[in-house]
A and B are shown apart, each in its own frame.
Chain A
Amino acid sequence: MKRLQLSDHLVLIGGVIFMVAPVMIAIMTSTHDAITIYKSGLQFLPGGQMLENYETVLFRAGGFTKEVNGLVMMKNSLILGLGFAIGKIVISMLAAYAIVYFRFPMATLCFWVIFCTLLLPLEVRILPSYEIVQSLGMTNTYSGLIVPLIASATGTFFFRQFFMSVPDELLEAARIDGAGPWKFFFDILVPLSKTMIAAIFIIMFVYGWNQYLWPTLITTDEALFTLVRGIKQIMQVWVGAQIPALNEAMALAILAMLPPVIVVVIFQSWFIKGLVESDK
């Protein structure tokens, strides 16, 4: 029995090394100077340049980008992540509430119009989406960055499932207690959905933060670059560079992954609950 457990642990440790090592190497590399890395490859042990590298990436413009520093990009990432998560939750809760709790003409039509968005990811309709956002003059704006991403109804679908599982008697009791549609929503349904909202918020925040293709197309103005969008810039700067600043590239990559990773690790149980249940 004991030997069995040992082999289990060995497999798991192997898995952990596979998952963690690449990022550990990235972190270690981000603490050295560019010449060391250029001479002897990526680093496995900490170096002495950590503060300098991160300071450069965070506060100095003109590295990979010409005008913005990492801090501005982080702010933009935060706006995208939060704006996307909050916008999506608000809009999809309202829509799901209408679909589950109201009887009205064309309800079925509305339902299908919304749920057909689950069929097509943004990537397949990327060109026309870009042209429409452009024709609306929304390129290089936060709303142009965020709103089109909200079009998919994953959140609505999730809240619909959850609302359906709320016992009918609660609505009946609330109606006898004199609560109308708005009161029921704000007094009963929203407080009841608290953990669900938290779970979906984490998933949506990570999803929004990690957006890449859409920000790449929509933001050409550096002032609106997100960290993840900034990654593409690194690749462009490398072409023709003598000694590429790999240390700073890695520092930027670490900065780009740090906030969503922290959120997911800290709120692990909510996150897993949301992920597993939203896809059911």
Chain B
Amino acid sequence: MATITLDQVRKVYGGVVEAVKGVSVDIADGEFIVLVGPSGCGKSTLLRMIAGLEDITTGEIKIGDRVVNNVDPADRDIAMVFQNYALYPHMSVYNNLAYGLKNRGMAKDEIDRRVKEAARILEIGDYLDRKPRALSGGQRQRVAMGRAIVREPAAFLFDEPLSNLDAKLRVQMRVEIKRLQRSLGTTSVYVTHDQLEAMTLADRLIVLNGGNIEQIGAPIDVYDKPASTFVAGFIGSPAMNLLPVKAVDGGLGLETGSGLSVPNLHGQDKCLLGVRPEHLEVVDQLPNGPHAQVTVNVLEPVGAESYLYASFENGGPEIVIRVSSHAVHKPGEKLFLGIKPENLHFFESQSGKRIGD
């Protein structure tokens, strides 16, 4: 177990393409960190740099107290779970787990003990003699996890380990990974593009965009107080509604169209207003506080809840409203929406940065 420290880590490909632009973060011992962002944001590159599979252009990576910039991947005391599992197809499950330990020159009975222990934890004891191709996707995933566990490493590195599984299995494995990490207490860095996976697994999230850190924080903090429009749009599903607004008699109204009135809490001329779909409440009559007036376009039931897609009068962007699954709304219906002031987010129009806290 160890801390991981990244200090101004940069990765430049071929002297031109800057994939990671100076990332600094301190990962505590035993912490579960999730790197999340869209494809091409540099999250995998960053993880591979921690693993030692990519050179570090500038900056420093420490695992524990040791600078590992020039340490071979095998000597970094890490274990990695790959997206396609990267199981050795010609080796039995047992040998897949044992291979790394054998290469370290570990004693046979100790290898055996560790493999059996990992197999017990992951419930793959029955398949130890099988080849990977005789396993289902979920079982392969477990073997890949087992290969990481037997090393008893200072850190687990996960590179989108669940994206090859079907939706149901993904949820199940997600829970298992979390339980396992909690019980082993091993520092973990986990890469995903799935914001739900990120939210559910992380102690702390690192949201990456274009090689930069957009925000670091506990999932709920990131959700409640997104640092930028990028984070606001990326974390949370359906995404936060972002509306361009301008100052109008004592408050803020839509830049184009009408039907919105919120207080100008930060004295802006122009900015972006953010409201999550679940914070728009359908009410019977126009409330005194912040409110909106919209016309329903589509109702999309997803089971536990439904999403209303609605638009303002005289144009303006379409917004999403979360309503109870039993709410009955017809296209063309006019709605009054109430919003609590504490659920309003404000972002700078140009930079997209959050205004206020």
Interface residues of A, Cβ cutoff 8 Å to B: 167, 169-170, 172-179, 183, 187-188, 191-192, 194
**Would you give the 0/1 interface string for B51-81, flagging 1 where the beta carbon is closer than 8 Å to chain A?**
1110000000000000000001111001110
* Minimum C-beta distance from B150 to chain A (A): 10
**Given A167-B84, A172-B53, A172-B80, residue A177 in contact with residue B99 (CB < 8 A):** yes
- Residue pairs across A and B with Cβ atoms less than 8 A apart, 18 shown, are A167-B84, A167-B86, A170-B86, A172-B80, A172-B82, A172-B86, A173-B80, A173-B147, A174-B88, A175-B52, A175-B72, A175-B73, A176-B80, A177-B74, A178-B104, A179-B103, A188-B88, A191-B91
- A167 to B159, alpha carbons, bound, how many Å? 15
The yes or no answer to B100 lying at the interface (CB within 8 A) is yes
**Given A169-B86, A170-B88, A192-B90, residue A177 in contact with residue B103 (CB < 8 A):** yes
Residues of B within 8 A of A179 (CB): 74, 99, 103
**Given A167-B84, A169-B82, residue A176 in contact with residue B90 (CB < 8 A):** no
Interface centre among A172, A176, A187, A194 (most CB of B within 10 A): A176
- A174 to B85, alpha carbons, bound, how many Å? 12
Interface residues of B, Cβ cutoff 8 Å to A: 48, 51-53, 72-75, 78-80, 82-91, 99-100, 103-104, 147
**Given A183-B103, A192-B90, residue A176 in contact with residue B84 (CB < 8 A):** no
In the complex, which residue of chain B has the Cβ closest to the Cβ of A170?
B86
* Minimum C-beta distance from A29 to chain B (A): 48
Determine if B74 and A176 form an interchain contact, defined as CB atoms under 8 angstroms apart: yes
Residues of A within 8 A of B85 (CB): 169
- A194 to B85, alpha carbons, bound, how many Å? 21
In the complex, which residue of chain A has the Cβ closest to the Cβ of B79?
A176
Determine if A178 and B80 form an interchain contact, defined as CB atoms under 8 angstroms apart: no
- A191 to B99, alpha carbons, bound, how many Å? 14
Determine if B100 and A177 form an interchain contact, defined as CB atoms under 8 angstroms apart: yes
- A191 to B89, alpha carbons, bound, how many Å? 9
* Minimum C-beta distance from B146 to chain A (A): 13
**Given A167-B86, A169-B86, residue A176 in contact with residue B99 (CB < 8 A):** no
- A172 to B100, alpha carbons, bound, how many Å? 12
- A248 to B86, alpha carbons, bound, how many Å? 58
Residues of A within 8 A of B51 (CB): 172, 176
* Minimum C-beta distance from B101 to chain A (A): 8
Residue B90 contacts which of A167, A183, A194 (CB distance < 8 angstroms)?
A194
In the complex, which residue of chain A has the Cβ closest to the Cβ of B88?
A188
Interface centre among A167, A172, A177, A194 (most CB of B within 10 A): A177
Main secondary structure of the interface of A (DSSP, over half): helix
Residues of A within 8 A of B73 (CB): 172, 175-176
In the complex, which residue of chain A has the Cβ closest to the Cβ of B72?
A175
Residues of A within 8 A of B147 (CB): 173, 177
**Given A176-B73, A177-B99, A177-B103, residue A191 in contact with residue B90 (CB < 8 A):** yes
A-B contacts besides A172-B82, A178-B103, 14 pairs, CB < 8 Å: A167-B86, A170-B86, A172-B48, A172-B80, A173-B86, A173-B88, A174-B99, A175-B53, A176-B100, A177-B99, A177-B147, A187-B88, A191-B90, A191-B91
- A169 to B164, alpha carbons, bound, how many Å? 14
In the complex, which residue of chain B has the Cβ closest to the Cβ of A176?
B73
- A169 to B103, alpha carbons, bound, how many Å? 18
* Minimum C-beta distance from B52 to chain A (A): 8
Residues of B within 8 A of A178 (CB): 74-75, 100, 103-104
In the complex, which residue of chain A has the Cβ closest to the Cβ of B53?
A172
Residues of A within 8 A of B83 (CB): 169
* Minimum C-beta distance from A44 to chain B (A): 50
| A-B interface, 9 closest residue pairs, ranked by CB to CB distance from nearest | A177-B100, A178-B74, A169-B86, A178-B103, A173-B86, A191-B90, A169-B82, A175-B73, A176-B73
**Given A167-B84, A170-B88, A192-B90, residue A176 in contact with residue B78 (CB < 8 A):** yes
Residues of A within 8 A of B84 (CB): 167, 169
* Minimum C-beta distance from B91 to chain A (A): 8
Residues of B within 8 A of A183 (CB): 103
Residues of A within 8 A of B99 (CB): 174, 177, 179, 187
Interface centre among A170, A173, A191, A192 (most CB of B within 10 A): A173
- A183 to B88, alpha carbons, bound, how many Å? 13
Residues of B within 8 A of A167 (CB): 84, 86
* Minimum C-beta distance from A194 to chain B (A): 7
* Minimum C-beta distance from B136 to chain A (A): 19
Determine if A192 and B82 form an interchain contact, defined as CB atoms under 8 angstroms apart: no
In the complex, which residue of chain A has the Cβ closest to the Cβ of B100?
A177
Residues of A within 8 A of B100 (CB): 176-178
Residues of A within 8 A of B80 (CB): 172-173, 176
Residues of A within 8 A of B48 (CB): 172
Residues of A within 8 A of B75 (CB): 178
* Minimum C-beta distance from B331 to chain A (A): 48
- A4 to B14, alpha carbons, bound, how many Å? 61
* Minimum C-beta distance from A177 to chain B (A): 3
Residues of B within 8 A of A175 (CB): 52-53, 72-74
- A104 to B131, alpha carbons, bound, how many Å? 35
In the complex, which residue of chain B has the Cβ closest to the Cβ of A172?
B53
* Minimum C-beta distance from A126 to chain B (A): 42
Residues of B within 8 A of A191 (CB): 90-91
Residues of A within 8 A of B104 (CB): 178
Residues of A within 8 A of B91 (CB): 191
- A194 to B89, alpha carbons, bound, how many Å? 12
- A194 to B91, alpha carbons, bound, how many Å? 13
Residues of B within 8 A of A187 (CB): 88, 99
- A181 to B200, alpha carbons, bound, how many Å? 39
Residues of A within 8 A of B103 (CB): 177-179, 183
Residues of B within 8 A of A170 (CB): 86, 88
